[in-house]
Amino acid sequence: MSRKLGWFVAGGLLVALLLAGVVSNFASGSPDGLDATARKGCTFDADGRITGGTCMAQREQGHQMKDSPLAGYGIRGVDNPYLSTGLAGVAGVLLTFGIGAGGFWLARRRERKAA
């Protein structure tokens, strides 16, 4: 890898880590468009539980990975919500970067064998 490309990748990784670790805590806690649409027609209590009406959200089921360590945009066991969200974002960036780098490494290795 050339020196310029290395600095570019390192800079991009640093920006992604900062965005995931810090800026992710400023994301809206309001439901996104899909959640808002699924909730139309129902009434909710202060805790967000459905109390009446008819909507798609009534048929909602728990996700298969709801008990995983990174479920809910946080890390289970970390009590500070800001730290939990930031660490989950950093872990996601590092995991994604690692998988991508491994894929490129394998593709490049295969290319060398073919030549």
Mean pLDDT for the chain overall: 88
Cβ-Cβ contacts under 8 Å for 96 (sequence gap 6 or more): none
Based on the number of CB atoms within 10 Å of its own CB, is 88 exposed (0-12), middle (13-18) or buried (19 or more)? buried
Q: Considering the domain boundaries, does residue 31 fall inside one?
A: no
How many independent structural domains does the chain possess?
1
Q: Are 72 and 89 in contact (CB under 8 A)?
A: no
Q: Considering the domain boundaries, does residue 33 fall inside one?
A: no
Length of the chain: 115
Q: Are 37 and 55 in contact (CB under 8 A)?
A: no
pLDDT at 19: 94
pLDDT at 31: 67
How is residue 55 annotated by DSSP?
Answer: -
pLDDT at 48: 83
Within the chain, where are the H helices? Answer: 3-21, 33-39, 81-114
pLDDT at 67: 85
Q: Considering the domain boundaries, does residue 94 fall inside one?
A: yes
pLDDT at 93: 95
Q: For residue range 54-108, what is the model confidence (pLDDT) as tens digits?
A: 999 888 888 888 888 888 888 999 999 899 999 999 999 999 999 999 999 999 8
Q: Are 69 and 76 in contact (CB under 8 A)?
A: yes
Residue 20, domain extent = 3-26+74-114
Q: Considering the domain boundaries, does residue 35 fall inside one?
A: no
* Threshold 0.85, pTM exceeds: no
How is residue 60 annotated by DSSP?
Answer: -
Cβ-Cβ contacts under 8 Å for 50 (sequence gap 6 or more): 42, 43, 44, 57, 58
Mean pLDDT of all residues in 44-49: 89
Q: Check whether 1 has a pLDDT greater than 80.
A: no
Q: Considering the domain boundaries, does residue 12 fall inside one?
A: yes
Q: Considering the domain boundaries, does residue 103 fall inside one?
A: yes
- In which band, very low, low, confident or very high, does the pLDDT at 115 lie, cut at 50, 70 and 90? low
